Amino acid sequence: MNLSQYIAEKGYKDNPRRLVEDLIQLVFLILGLVAVGSVLVITVYLVVSGLPAIFKIGPVEFLFGTRWASTASEPAFGILPFILTSIYGTAGAIIIGVPIGFFAAVFLAKMAPKKVREVMELCIGVLAGIPSVVYGLVGMTILVPGIRILFNVPDGATLLAAIVVLAVMILPSVINVSLSALQAVPREFEEASLALGATSTETYFRVTVPAAKSGIFTAIVLGIGRAIGEAMAIMMVAGNVANMPSIFKSVRFLTTAVASEMSYSSGLQREALFSIALVLFLFIMIINAILNVLKTGGKRK
């Protein structure tokens, strides 16, 4: 079909306003597709620039090698220390942060008076808005010396410091998402439980919380995503040495491995940094997929 036929069929000649309307709709469609295009570009660029180095180094050696010495005369590119550090660090942050966030959310959703809730919402908003470098700065000046003195280790810039900072940083999203899940539980559930003689606290924890289960899981997974992707704050407190992770050792995460060497990298080292970013991206994509499953699962119910 050629253009003139198309114009005739759509009736643009007799009705130029329709042409304008259709053009505007097309513009909006293009604007809508910018997000899709961005995701594609990011994925393609990461895969194209990240894959070659993995094959040059050897996938097994890259993923399971325990030694990272990118600038040595005989360089080694094993990123297992980074992967494990990211997993341990995230797990630690979840273990500390989620219980605190969960109990705070239950209190805010069910027990807090309106005034307390309003003040707390502001607090959580501020906590979420504080730039990560500020967390890093406070961590550097309080947490790092504190850990050194408290546990009597030579340097306080350790995995532990990073875990504490990450735990604080995931708090706002854990609280907010659990809070809205808890608030969405129908009031009838609680009334039924209260009518059967359960106390209010029992009702909240035995009825409301199980009913909001999928929302709370979402909060945890979201927290995992936040923690695994954080770079600057933990770069400032974790000491940044490519050790295998241990709670009182200076460590390097997937994110900080990329951030700390990018500015002076070249050749295979630079390519390997892109491969690390690709691995990180895969982790994030898995987390996104889990979030999606949780979301559609929640809707079906």
Partner 1 sequence: MIERISGKRKAWCAMMRTFCIISLVLVTALTAFMLIYVLVRGLPHVTPELLFTKPSTLRNTIGILPDILNTIYIVITTLLVVLPIGVGAAIYLNEYATNKKVVEMIEFAAETLSGIPSIIYGLVGMLVFCQFCSFGTSLLAGSLTLVIMNLPTIMRTTQESLKTVPESYREGAFALGAGKWRVIRTVVLPTCINGIITGCILSIGRILSESAALLFTAGFAHNVNGFFRGMGSAGATLTVALYVYASERGEFDIAFAIAAILMILTVIINLLTTYMGKLMERRNGQ
Question: Cβ–Cβ contacts within 10 Å for residue 127, how many?
Answer: 15
For residues 64-93, which are near partner 1 according to CB under 8 A?
none
DSSP 142: I
N-terminal to C-terminal alpha carbon distance within the chain: 47
Of 76-84, 133-141, 188-196, 241-249, the segment contacting partner 1 by CB under 8 A is 133-141
Q: Is 286 in the site for partner 1 (CB under 8 A)?
A: no
Distance of closest approach, residue 69 Cβ to partner 1, in angstroms: 22
Q: Is 197 in the site for partner 1 (CB under 8 A)?
A: yes
Q: Is 17 in the site for partner 1 (CB under 8 A)?
A: yes
Binding string to partner 1 for residues 217 to 246, with x set by CB under 8 A, is what?
--------x--xxxxx--xx----------
Distance of closest approach, residue 134 Cβ to partner 1, in angstroms: 5
Of 5-13, 73-81, 104-112, 154-162, the segment contacting partner 1 by CB under 8 A is 104-112
Of 40-48, 61-69, 70-78, 154-162, the segment contacting partner 1 by CB under 8 A is 40-48
**Whole-number Å distance between alpha carbons of 291 and 185:** 20
Contacting residue, 95, 111, 184, 293, with partner 1 by CB under 8 A? 111
Q: 34 or 72, CB closer to partner 1?
A: 34
Q: Is 107 in the site for partner 1 (CB under 8 A)?
A: yes
Question: Cβ–Cβ contacts within 10 Å for residue 260, how many?
Answer: 17
**Whole-number Å distance between alpha carbons of 208 and 109:** 10
Query: 59-89: buried (b, 16+ CB within 10 Å) or exposed (e) per residue?
Result: eeebeebeebebeeeeeebbbbbbbbbbbbb
Question: Cβ–Cβ contacts within 10 Å for residue 291, how many?
Answer: 16
Of 6-14, 36-44, 64-72, 148-156, the segment contacting partner 1 by CB under 8 A is 36-44
Distance of closest approach, residue 73 Cβ to partner 1, in angstroms: 26
Of 61-69, 77-85, 147-155, 286-294, the segment contacting partner 1 by CB under 8 A is 286-294
Closest CA to 133 of 214, 252, 206, 235: 235
Distance of closest approach, residue 116 Cβ to partner 1, in angstroms: 8
What 3-state DSSP class applies to 76?
Answer: strand
Burial level of 129, CB count in 10 A (0-12/13-18/19+)?
exposed
